[in-house]
Chains A and B, each alone.
Chain A
Amino acid sequence: MNLIELKGIHFGYDTHQVAILDDLHLSVNHGECHCISGATGCGKSSLLHLIAGELSRPFEGEMIRHPALMVGLVMQDPNVQVLRQSVGAEIAFALENLGTPSVKMLEKVQQALRRVGLYISIDTPVDVLSLGQKYRLMLAAQLVFEPNLLLLDEPWTQLDNHGVQELYFVLKSLLSDGVAIVMVEHHPQAFGTLISHLWQLEQGKLVAGLYLPSVPREHKLNVTAAKATTSESCAEERVRISPHRFQFTGRETLFRCANTLSLAAGEIVALVGDNGSGKSSLLKALAGIQADIGQLPFSVLGKRPKLGIYGPNLSLLLQRPNRQLFEQTVLTEMQFSLRRFKLPLTRAEQMLAQLSLMGLAAASPHKLSYGQQHIIALASLACLTPKVLLLDDPFAGLDSVHCEKVWQLLLQLRQQGCAILLSSHREMSLDDVDRVWHIESGFLLDRSESMEQSYAG
């Protein structure tokens, strides 16, 4: 008997919308690794939630579960499923519910932590972990109760390369133990030979193969031209980071910055570092919204960063887009800031049309997929044409089509003189951005020159 079998599943969120799963069939057996790809917002995450049995909405079709089925699910945004305040308590939660004797818990919890490469104390508060670390934590919280079916939602997106490599070996050992895995992933190449079944979700059905839309790569920067433009416009400095130690009050130094870094108008700079290196905190500090960080020698638009002093001139896209979406429809969400700063409301519709997202105008932003929320949050900031745009992992959850749209949007803003600082836990090419700042080995530094030399070489 299969672990789980889905026969002719029909599922939709609203009666007036097309069903996102339409006559879907899938059977998963012990030791199989299924990878599902598909366009952003096509229903991949919903399928995982359906398999996990945690969707309260009705669906049509048949789902046959093995009596011994034990499902573990790691969602795309791990914050959604964090329940407890400390790392140890979070991992032990499932054990408590399964009635595991408390004397056995500590060992199991520590084993699970080591298995996902999280070498931190079990008393560590969950709040201080980065998004990537939280993803690993949730993975540990699932592995601790030894599920026989593990569901993973876009692990590549949330984990840095080191984390993906560790996950690869964890998954390999799970598969050899007979555990089945179903993952939703835009980049299955990262898990190579582990994947036994490759699917793409298309029009509500699972079709064999990988979702690979033909996207012309048009966003390549013309660096020489860009530099010429920059020198012509005297490169107005928008952000200046003087040498400092970046640390939270009463904690160890997160990283040091030995040289002055600056971001000029019409520049796109990437901030690259591993999970937990301090990228999000730095961006928040530049926007003046990071607490417990003290006074840092930052200058943004000629002022020390402080909440509420920049108006529409500075925008920050948070790593969790749902934290900055609050209106009832996508259109009103995009018009909110325009209305507040007395800018033309028509910009919202123009932006949606430019991104081919007019179909979402009347939808609730809270019901969209993680990727869709990301692009809507970014679009609502881009509407304001800010002078400084800070983006925390703007490509998370986006397929190649939407990534290309975002790049086009960023290039457009750059041409308008916007200074853009975007964070990523993966290396970025100088074809895509003007410069790259790295946080590595506890130092924040600009490595563009050495990268340019290596490119030239």
Chain B
Amino acid sequence: MKSHFELEDALFIGFCATLLVVLKSMLRLKLGLSGHSMFLMTFFYLLCYGAVGRVGCITACGLLAGIVAMMLSVGKGGPLILLKFGLPAVAMDLTLLMIAGVFKLRWQCVIVALIGCLAWASKGWVENMLAGMTHQIALTKFALNFLQGGVFAIGAALIVPTVLRRLQSHDLLQDHHKQYK
């Protein structure tokens, strides 16, 4: 990962965060499937990581998306929407600190996506516990959320390397020598 941070990086992070919130608010998918929001979230976070390649870029993207969503009243949760976007982002960034460069990009994306999903499901678990749900039901709900969110997150994670390769072939990524495999 590179150590410096440039204007282009900031613009791309802002672009990913804005597009994530805008798409989420425009589509308003009522699929009735818990966890489908993990698809867009994972996709944009990992795209941001792949394109910017700097520690903290996912967190920045997540917090920015959370702030924009909070200001525009997108999704459920009021101010807690910041946590919804921010928590998985922080978890993904922390994971990348440990596994960056260890695996191939595809596996790295899958692992990071699952950790992000775990953080997202944990947030729901804590909320349920605070609401007075029993341990057993809260845990079952957590497992179900993780499972459903995980399917969407892995789907998004598998797309990201292809998108990055396409961006690289169009000369749109700064790290021109990196191989996105």
Contacts and interface: CB of A to CB of B under 8 A. Distances in A.
Interface stretch (B125-133, B136-144, B164-172): B164-172
Interface in A53-75: 56-57
B172 to A, nearest CB: 9
B104 interface: no
Contacts of B177: 14-16
A56 B165 contact: no
B169 A366 contact: yes
- Dominant SS at the A interface? loop
A86 interface: no
Contacts of B170: 364, 366
Interface string B159-181: 00000011011110010110000
- Determine the interface band of chain B, counting residues with CB < 8 A from chain A: 10 to 19
Nearest to B165: A328
A16 B179 CA distance: 12
Contact of A328 (B169, B174, B176): B169
A288 to B, nearest CB: 28
- Determine the interface band of chain A, counting residues with CB < 8 A from chain B: 10 to 19
Contacts of A16: 177
A49 B48 CA distance: 28
A329 interface: yes
A13 interface: yes
Nearest to A57: B176
A14 B169 contact: no
Contact of B169 (A15, A57, A329): A329
A56 B174 contact: yes
A3 B111 CA distance: 54
A78 B176 CA distance: 25
A56 B174 CA distance: 9
A327 B168 CA distance: 11
Nearest to A364: B169
A15 B178 CA distance: 10
B176 A14 contact: yes
Interface in A131-189: none
Nearest to A328: B169
Contacts of A7: none
Contacts of A14: 176-177
Contacts of B176: 13-14, 57
Contacts of A367: 169, 171
Nearest to B8: A56
Contacts of B168: 364
A354 B166 CA distance: 28
12 contacts: A16-B177, A56-B8, A57-B176, A327-B169, A328-B169, A329-B169, A364-B169, A364-B170, A365-B169, A366-B169, A366-B170, A366-B171
Interface of B: 8, 165-166, 168-171, 174, 176-177
